[in-house]
């Protein structure tokens, strides 16, 4: 049976039926068994919008601006674009092509190439689960802010007061920063203060998992039409924020900071690792480009607001210092040559640049511990950690007329982005499992509910008062490092085990045109060596430099860098090992099965029929599965491993001719 072709622009996108190939020489005519077809997208537009929706998410609004700020602004952008072109797009194309040609989930794809590689798919599922755990916490935060947006004025517009005194922690930072760390998270001073839960955030996390669970019941058929809204709505909101942000005083300095490349930061391994782990041929190019442009759009908004915040803080610094200077001149004789050339009686009218020029020339000569007021220094401080987008965007919304409306709109957008990505992430876990385990397929609804319950229970780790630090741990290490390892195995398996030339041949059959040969060399050398180098450098960095995290200090109302305690490093190591362990376990399991089955078969079992039939028809069923049927009919235990497992190395339906099967044994 021939697979339906992939859609062109005018075709309806339908995922084809699974197909089984009958065995020759069995004495009976076996028909083709076709399970019910999977749900599919109704049009190419819905499919493409779904790709955008799954690829563009909270990370573009939350993580990318934070990483861009943390890693040198323009230097990070240049590095990101470089890695996207040389590594990201080729690997994305590889995964799309493999998935569309085999028409299975992550486990089935690699099992189809070779059962020894099935562990790659399981590792992918584990990494997806890790991401889903902390990703839904961010959705919970969005729900919390959305609920607080229906107030006027917004609760983060000003500092709270106790009696007639403004809360000092808020005064020393800012109202939005104080609301994030104290009201939303009620955060501890370190990751070691565990055990105390934040009840409000716990309820928000429960609501987030409930929404995800309910949304997963219907599948893509119900969500297809929603994609028209959910994929376009975020861009409308971001453009509104960008226009308003560019009108703020100091926005130009923020944008300049974003694009100015500090190339010296390229020497740090962390920058390369974070730039490389953020994201059929046309889709790979287009979705990757849209993903990047979305990140840049969100970053423009964030940095415009950061520039405004930095100027506001710097001008408050100027005001404090000029008040001190005015007192010095009023209470004691000072050298009149030290008097600034501007009017110090009204500090609000003094330009920042004028004060800095005077301070550079005379500041050290004046008593009273005057300080410099550097806009760039304030930009360098910015806002560290996961709260950057929350703090920056919430501050921007306080400047809008009708701020509650814009706040609700923004956090509704975040909720929309987060849920679209969560649906794709969970589907990437559940679909491969139900494809490979019939009992799970029969109870997919129960599996979905069970997965969401487990996700919530484990996710309570992040709803502790110190939970934000665990979010940072998962985001920085337990998701990214295993992801690099999985990508290394994927790239090696396709380009070297299966063969890059053979893979390009299969893509040519599928797409009816041959991709440029440059992909062969990118997959075999550039992508693989880049990922291996990145992985090695990251592991060495962790060995020689103790991992750190950014914590909020209540006393100083500022963020400080702390070392992870030993127990946290042990947890981190366990998570990384747990995520990558399926790869070697899958290889060992398949090898042992192969040897055991070889002993059962001996030399008396006729396996030629399996080879002959699958070499003369287009067969989607793995050879090992066909052999299982063969063994059952001949009274041989069906659980005994097959020596033919390693022979199943075809991505597309097998070509005609026995020589093709024989060639595959060379691998």
Residue the block writes with tokens 């229970």: 457
CB 274 within 8 A of CB 336: no
Closest CA to 234 of 44, 411, 51: 411
Count, residues in the chain: 667
CA distances from 667 to 198, 225, 232 (A): 54, 45, 46
Within 10 angstroms of residue 359's Cβ, the number of other Cβ atoms is: 20
Number of H helices, E strands in the chain: 32, 4
Grouping H, G, I as helix, E, B as strand and the rest as coil, residue 73 is: strand
221 torsion bin: left (phi>0), alpha (psi -120 to 50), beta (else): alpha
380 is in an annotated binding site: no
Strand duo 548-553 + 165-166: pairing:
unpaired
Which has the closest alpha carbon to 110: 575, 436, 504? 436
53 assigned binding-site residue: yes
Element containing residue 83 per DSSP (H, E): helix 74-83
Do residues 511 and 6 lie in contact, with contact meaning Cβ atoms separated by under 8 Å? yes
DSSP assignment letter at 116 = G
Dihedral-angle region of residue 154 (phi above 0 means left; psi in -120 to 50 means alpha; beta otherwise): beta
- Distance of alpha carbon 406 from alpha carbon 241, whole angstroms: 9
Do 57 and 415 touch, CB atoms closer than 8 A? no
Rounded Cα distance, 651 and 654, in Å: 8
Under a CB-based contact definition with an 8 Å cutoff, are residues 261 and 83 in contact?
no
Long-range contacts of 504-509 (CB under 8 A, 24+ apart): 506/97, 506/101, 506/651, 506/652, 507/97, 507/101, 507/280, 509/652
Is 366 marked as a binding-site residue? no
200 marked ligand binding residue: no
Q: What residues form DSSP beta bridges with 468?
A: none
In Å, what is the CA distance from 6 to each residue of 10, 43, 323, 376, 509? 11, 12, 71, 52, 11
- Per-residue DSSP letters for 146-215? HHHTSSSS-TTSS--EETTEE-HHHHHS-HHHHIIIIIIS---SSTT--S-B-HHHHHHHHHHHHHHHHH
Find all residues with CB under 8 Å of 173, minimum gap 6, and list them: 181, 557, 558
Q: Whole-angstrom Cα distance, residue 343 to residue 325?
A: 11
Q: Are the C-beta atoms of 93 and 281 separated by less than 8 Å?
A: yes
Token pair 């902390």 is found at: 134
Dig out the tokens for 4 from the structure. Answer: 């339906």
- Residue 666 makes CB contacts below 8 A (sequence gap 6+) with none
Binding-site residues from annotation for Na(+): 53, 56, 60, 417
Binding-site residues from annotation: 53, 56, 60, 417
């Amino acid at each position: 049976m021939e697979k339906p072709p992939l859609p062109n622009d005018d075709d309806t996108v339908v995922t084809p039926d699974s197909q089984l190939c009958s065995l020759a020489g069995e004495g009976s005519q076996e028909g083709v068994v076709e399970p019910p077809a999977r749900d599919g997208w109704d049009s190419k537009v819905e499919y493409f919008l779904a790709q955008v929706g799954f690829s563009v998410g909270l990370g573009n609004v939350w993580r990318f601006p934070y990483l861009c700020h943390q890693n040198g602004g323009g230097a990070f952008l240049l590095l990101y674009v470089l890695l996207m072109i040389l590594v990201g797009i080729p690997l994305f194309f590889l995964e799309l092509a493999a998935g569309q040609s085999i028409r299975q989930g992550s486990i089935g794809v690699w099992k189809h190439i070779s059962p020894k590689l099935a562990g790659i798919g399981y590792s992918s599922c584990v990494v997806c689960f890790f991401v889903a755990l902390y990703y839904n916490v961010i959705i919970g935060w969005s729900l919390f802010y959305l609920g607080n947006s229906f107030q006027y004025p917004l609760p983060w517009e000003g500092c709270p007061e106790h009696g007639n005194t403004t809360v000092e922690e808020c005064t020393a930072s800012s109202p939005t920063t104080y609301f994030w760390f104290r009201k939303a998270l009620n955060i501890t001073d370190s990751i070691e203060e565990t055990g105390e839960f934040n009840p409000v955030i716990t309820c928000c996390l429960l609501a987030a998992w409930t929404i995800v669970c309910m949304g997963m019941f219907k599948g893509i058929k119900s969500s297809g039409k929603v994609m028209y809204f959910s994929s376009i709505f975020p861009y409308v909101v971001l453009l509104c924020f960008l226009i308003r942000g560019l009108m703020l005083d100091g926005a130009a300095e923020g944008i300049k900071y974003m694009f100015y490349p500090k190339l010296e930061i390229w020497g740090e391994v962390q920058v390369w690792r974070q730039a490389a782990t953020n994201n059929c041929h046309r889709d790979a190019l287009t979705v990757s480009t849209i993903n990047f442009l979305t990140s840049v759009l969100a970053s423009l908004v964030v940095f415009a607001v950061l520039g405004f915040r930095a100027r506001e803080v710097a001008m408050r610094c100027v005001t404090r210092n000029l008040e001190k200077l005015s007192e010095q001149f009023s209470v004691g004789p000072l050298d009149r040559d030290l008097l600034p050339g501007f009017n110090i009686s009204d500090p609000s009218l003094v330009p920042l640049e004028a004060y800095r020029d005077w301070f550079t020339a005379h500041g050290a000569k004046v008593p009273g511990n005057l300080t410099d007021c550097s806009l760039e220094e304030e930009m360098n401080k910015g806002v560290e950690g996961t709260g950057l987008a929350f703090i920056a965007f919430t501050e921007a919304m306080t400047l809008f007329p009708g701020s509650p409306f814009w706040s609700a709109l923004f956090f509704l957008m975040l909720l929309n982005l987060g849920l679209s990505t969560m649906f794709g992430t969970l589907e990437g876990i559940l679909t491969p499992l139900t494809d490979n385990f019939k009992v799970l397929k029969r109870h997919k609804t129960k599996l979905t509910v069970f997965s969401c319950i487990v996700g919530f229970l484990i996710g309570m780790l992040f709803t502790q008062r110190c939970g934000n630090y665990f979010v940072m741990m998962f985001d920085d290490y337990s998701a990214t490092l295993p992801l690099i390892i999985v990508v290394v195995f994927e790239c090696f398996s396709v380009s070297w085990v299966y063969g890059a030339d053979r893979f390009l041949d299969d893509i040519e059959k599928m797409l009816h045109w041959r991709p440029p040969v440059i992909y062969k060399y990118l997959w075999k050398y550039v992508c693989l060596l880049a990922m291996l180098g990145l992985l090695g450098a990251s592991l060495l960095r962790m060995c020689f430099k103790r991992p750190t995290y950014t914590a909020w200090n209540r006393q100083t109302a500022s963020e400080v860098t702390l070392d992870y305690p030993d127990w946290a490093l042990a947890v981190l190591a366990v998570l990384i090992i747990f995520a990558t362990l399926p790869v070697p376990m899958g290889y060992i399991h398949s090898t042992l099965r192969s040897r055991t089955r070889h002993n059962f078969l001996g030399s008396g079992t006729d396996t030629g029929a399996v080879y002959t039939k699958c070499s003369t028809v287009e067969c989607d069923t793995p050879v090992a599965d066909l052999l299982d049927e063969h063994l059952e009919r001949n009274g041989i235990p069906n659980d005994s491993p097959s020596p033919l497992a390693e022979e199943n190395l075809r991505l597309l339906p097998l070509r005609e001719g026995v020589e093709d099967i024989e060639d595959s044994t060379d691998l």
